[in-house]
C-alpha cells in the first residue's frame, strides 16, 4: 500500500513531506481503532523476538534510528508500527534551527538520502515535556549532542545537561559525536576528548540510584586504527555498547550523476550505499573486541536480508531510518518475520 503512494510523496520536498507525514500520523491516531489497526498490520509478537540487551528487555530487535522523531513528537504513535524500540533526538540543551534549507535530499537512483540538518531541534526542555506525557511502553533511547555554538572544549557541559534532564524519561542514552553536519563535532571522536566525555557521563551515571546504559554512535568513515581506539575507549570507560554507524561523507560508487551530487553539496549519506561499509564496521568491532559489547547495527537496511546481514555480522539489535522512508512500515514486520524463520 505504501509503495502506491510513495511516487506521489517523492514529488515534494523531503523535509516538507516529513512534516506532513507527522501531521497525518498524528491526526490518524485520533481516529478510533486506528492505532489498533496499525498494530494489527505491522506488529509481530513472539517470544523468540524478545531480547535482553544491556539490562533492557526489548519486545523485538528492530528499532527506529535517531533523526526521524527528533523532538519526541510521535513516539507513542510510531510504537504502533511494530518497532521494538526507538531513539529520539539528536537533542541539544538549547533550541536551534539547524543548517539553512534545503538540507534534506533524496537520491532515488541509489535508494539513499543526503542530509545536512545540523541538529535542528526544539531543545531539551521541549523534549522532556513531551516525554513526560508518554503513554506507550515503547523503549526510548535518548540521542544527545552539543549545540552548534558550543566550542568543543565546552562540549562536555552540553552532553551533561542533556544527560541529567533526560535521565528520568529515557531507557538508554546514545552519545552522538559522529554527525558530519555540525562543524568540528567529529573531532570529539578522537581518543582523548572522547574518553574525557564518556568518563564524565559515567561519573554522573554511577551516582544515580540505578544507572542507565550509555552507548556511543560512531561514524562509518573511521579507519581501522580509529576503530581500535573505539574498542579501547569502550573498555576503559565501561560504556554499554556502540551504535554503528552514522551517515557517511563518502560519495564513491553512487549511481546519481556527479552534476546532481554537486548541486546537493555537503551532508551525510544514508541508505543502501552505506550498507556495506556499516556492516564491515560492525563485523570489525565484533571480532576485534572478541564480542566484548553489544552493537546496534544501522545503515542501509532496506530489506529483511539487509537486517539479517547486520545481525550475522555481530549486531545484537538493528535500526532503520532511510529504509523506513523508502519501504514504509511493512519493513519492520518483514524483518521480524525473517528473524523468526531462522
Catalytically annotated residues = 179
Q: From the centroid of its chain, how far is CA 266?
A: 20
Please give the backbone phi and psi of residue 161, each rounded to the nearest 5 degrees, phi first.
-60, -50
* Residue 2: Cβ within 10 Å count: 14
Cell of 20: 506532513
**CA dihedral over 122, 123, 128, 129, signed as positive or negative:** negative
Classify strands 295-298 and 112-115 as parallel, antiparallel or unpaired.
Answer: unpaired
DSSP string, 145-198: ---TTS-GGGHHHHHHHHHHHHTTT-SEEEEE---TTSTTGGGGGSHHHHHHHH
The SS3 call for residue 295 is strand
- Omega within 30 of 0 (cis) for the link into 295: no
Per-residue burial over 197-234, b if 16 or more Cβ lie within 10 Å, else e, is bbebbbeebeeeeeebbbbbbbbbbbeeeebbbbbebb
Amino acid at each position: 500500500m505504501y509503495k502506491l503512494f510513495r511516487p506521489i510523496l517523492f514529488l515534494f520536498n523531503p523535509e516538507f513531506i516529513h512534516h506532513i507525514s507527522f501531521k497525518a500520523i498524528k491526526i490518524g491516531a485520533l481516529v478510533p481503532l486506528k492505532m489498533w489497526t496499525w498494530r494489527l498490520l505491522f506488529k509481530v509478537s513472539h517470544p523468540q523476538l524478545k531480547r535482553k540487551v544491556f539490562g533492557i528487555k526489548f519486545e523485538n530487535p528492530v528499532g527506529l534510528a535517531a533523526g526521524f522523531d527528533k523532538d519526541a513528537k510521535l513516539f507513542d504513535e510510531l510504537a504502533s508500527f511494530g518497532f521494538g524500540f526507538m531513539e529520539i533526538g539528536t537533542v541539544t540543551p538549547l533550541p536551534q534551527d539547524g543548517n539553512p534549507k534545503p538540507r534534506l535530499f533524496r537520491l532515488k537512483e541509489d535508494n539513499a538520502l543526503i542530509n545536512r540538518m545540523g541538529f535542528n531541534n526544539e531543545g531539551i526542555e521541549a523534549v522532556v515535556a513531551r516525554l513526560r506525557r508518554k503513554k506507550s511502553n515503547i523503549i526510548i533511547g535518548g540521542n544527545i549532542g552539543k549545540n552548534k555554538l558550543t566550542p568543543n572544549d565546552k562540549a562536555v557541559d552540553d552532553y551533561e545537561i542533556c544527560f541529567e534532564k533526560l535521565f528520568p524519561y529515557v531507557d538508554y542514552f546514545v552519545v552522538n559525536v559522529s554527525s558530519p553536519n555540525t562543524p568540528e563535532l567529529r573531532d570529539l571522536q578522537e581518543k582523548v576528548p572522547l574518553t574525557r566525555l564518556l568518563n564524565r557521563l559515567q561519573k554522573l551515571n554511577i551516582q544515580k540510584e540505578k544507572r542507565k546504559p550509555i552507548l556511543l554512535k560512531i561514524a562509518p568513515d573511521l579507519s581501522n586504527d580509529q576503530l581500535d581506539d573505539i574498542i579501547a575507549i569502550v573498555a576503559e570507560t565501561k560504556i554499554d555498547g556502540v551504535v554503528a554507524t552514522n551517515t557517511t561523507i563518502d560519495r564513491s560508487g553512487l549511481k546519481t550523476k556527479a552534476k546532481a551530487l554537486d548541486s546537493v553539496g555537503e551532508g551525510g549519506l544514508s541508505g543502501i550505499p552505506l550498507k556495506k561499509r556499516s556492516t564491515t564496521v560492525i563485523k570489525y568491532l565484533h571480532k576485534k573486541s572478541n564480542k566484548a559489547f553489544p552493537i546496534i547495527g544501522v545503515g542501509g537496511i532496506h530489506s529483511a536480508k539487509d537486517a539479517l546481514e547486520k545481525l550475522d555480522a555481530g549486531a545484537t539489535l538493528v535500526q532503520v531510518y532511510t529504509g523506513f522512508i523508502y519501504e514504509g512500515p511493512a519493513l519492520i514486520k518483514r524483518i521480524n518475520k525473517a528473524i523468526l524463520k531462522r
